[in-house]
Copies of this chain bind each other. A is one copy, B any other.
Amino acid sequence: MSAIEELTAELAKLPGIGRKTATRLTYHLLKQPTAVVTRLARTIETVVERVRACTVCGNLGEADPCAICTDERRDGGLICVVEEASDIGAIERSGEFRGRYHVLGGRLSPLDGVGPDDLRIAALQARLGDGTAVREVILATNPSMEGEVTATYLRGVLEAPGVRVTRIALGLPMGGELEYADGVTIARALAARREMGVG
């Protein structure tokens, strides 16, 4: 396989990138100055070398614990539970949240074989009971069927004395993805969060 075919094949493995887009990207890169392309390659290598998951919250970053977990100005009594680390960036851009996070690493999905043991739920329960005085857990899983099921499941298993469990308001359109929502929508949904009953 030639270098051009090889790169096209590698790019076509990325999500949302088909064969035609991969071809277009390859030839685009070949038209760029070498320095530009080398920088892209180095940046890709750097990201996997430097970025790791925070052992406390599961956020991806260059420190462990992550910059959010060690930020003393943030409210450790408030934990926002998200499906993926990429959701944290979306919530941070809203500028409305000053607590900390917990990344589940996915959502309950029986069809895909994802059950409670595949998510970082035990680690979340441990954080509630570790004496750091968590007052509230905000469930910010996606406003999708699976995200709702996951939130309902979590509501049932997150029983800890003195801890409120709330659900981010579904101002987000059903079926949408939190990661791609705009800051204003996320800010509103956070402000309108409501206490969840056990069902």
Binding site for B on A (CB under 8 A): 2-4, 6-7, 10-11, 14-16, 20-21, 23-30, 34, 37-48, 50-51, 60-62, 84-86, 89, 179-180
Q: Shortest beta-carbon distance, A169 to chain B, in Å? A: 22
Does B14 lie within 8 Å of A25, measured CB to CB? yes
Does A44 lie within 8 Å of B37, measured CB to CB? yes
Does B4 lie within 8 Å of A51, measured CB to CB? yes
Does A43 lie within 8 Å of B3, measured CB to CB? yes
Does B30 lie within 8 Å of A41, measured CB to CB? no
Prevailing SS type, chain A contact patch: helix
Task: Please give me the residue from chain B that is nearest to A105 by CB atom.
Answer: B31
Q: Shortest beta-carbon distance, A184 to chain B, in Å? A: 16
Does B84 lie within 8 Å of A47, measured CB to CB? no
Does B62 lie within 8 Å of A23, measured CB to CB? no
Does A44 lie within 8 Å of B48, measured CB to CB? no
Cα A86 to Cα B30 with chains together (Å): 10
Does B41 lie within 8 Å of A2, measured CB to CB? no
> Which of B11, B27, B40, B179 contacts A23 (CB under 8 A)?
B179
| B-side contacts of A180, CB under 8 Å | 20
Q: Given A3-B50, A6-B46, A38-B45 in contact, is the A60-B30 Cβ separation under 8 Å?
A: yes
> Which of B2, B15, B21, B47 contacts A3 (CB under 8 A)?
B47
> Which of B15, B28, B41 contacts A14 (CB under 8 A)?
B28
